[in-house]
Amino acid sequence: MTTTRGIDFAHLSLKDALDLAVLVEEEAQERYDEFTHQMKTHDTPEAASFFAFMSRNEKKHGDELRARRLELFGDAPRSVERAMIFDIEAPDYDQARAFMSARQALTAALASETKAHAFFVAALPAIQDPKVKALFAELRDEEIEHQKLVQAELAKLPPSEDLGDAFADEPVAH
């Protein structure tokens, strides 16, 4: 569930916007790392491998944004912080399941990219600074590209092999 706290989009500077974008990528990368570990711990290697791939992607995007920020603003102090965002592009915790299939993992990632796109779409009307507006529009469009990437991966999979939650070790009443 995407949430922000204390961000004034109307007065967001380009530096703050870039910092915010880096934080969004960092949060997503960390969550994918967590999911990778969860899947490895629960013998779900295919999903673990896909979440590790997503983590690398988020890191790459974060690094690119960080480089732009450094080029434009050097090491000027950051005024936005991680506590201001919650699950913008990070998949929700309840998207993970033990023994989830590759299809379920990809679907979780697609939901996250859709969520991130919705965040930038919702924020854009409030933004006044044209440079920030352009950055957010760029990020919004990138989310569409990411969605296409995940959809292409989904299309490569064989028809649904999902076993659902019934596969999990549930108690049986006698």
Partner 1 sequence: MSNALPVVDKKFEPKDFKSDLKPIWCPGCGDFGVLQSLYRALAAIGRPAHEIAFVSGIGCSSRIPGYTTAYGFNTVHGRALPIAQGIKIANPSLLVLCAGGDGDGFSIGGGHVAHAVRRNIDLTYIVMDNQIYGLTKGQLSPTSPRGLKTVTSSLGSLEDPVNPLLYVLGYGASFVAQGTAADLPGLAAIIEEGIRFPGFAFINVQSPCVTYGEDEWQIKEQRARMKSLESLGHDPKDQLHAMDLARAYGKELYTGVFYRNPAPSPTYDQLVLERQKEKGASAPDPARVLDSLIQR
Asked if 96 touches partner 1 (CB under 8 A), the answer is yes
Which of 45, 86, 121, 144 lies at the binding interface for partner 1 (CB under 8 A)? Answer: 86
User: What is the phi-psi region of residue 158: left when phi exceeds 0, alpha when psi lies from -120 to 50, beta otherwise?
Assistant: beta
- Nearest Cα neighbor of 58 from 19, 86, 36, 25 is 25
Give dist(CA 65, CA 71) in Å, integer. Answer: 10
Q: How far is the CB of 39 from partner 1 (least distance, A)?
A: 7
118 within 8 A of 3, measured Cβ to Cβ: no
Among 7, 14, 52, 92, binds partner 1 (CB under 8 A): 92
Q: Does 164 bind partner 1 (CB under 8 A)?
A: no
> DSSP character for 48?
H
Nearer to partner 1, 79 or 128 (CB): 79
Decide if residue 41 touches partner 1 (CB under 8 A): yes
Distance (Å, whole) CA 119 – CA 112: 11
CB of 141 to partner 1, least distance (A): 27
Residue numbers at the binding site for partner 1 (CB under 8 A): 1, 3, 5, 34-35, 37-39, 41-42, 44, 81-83, 86-87, 92-98, 100, 168-174
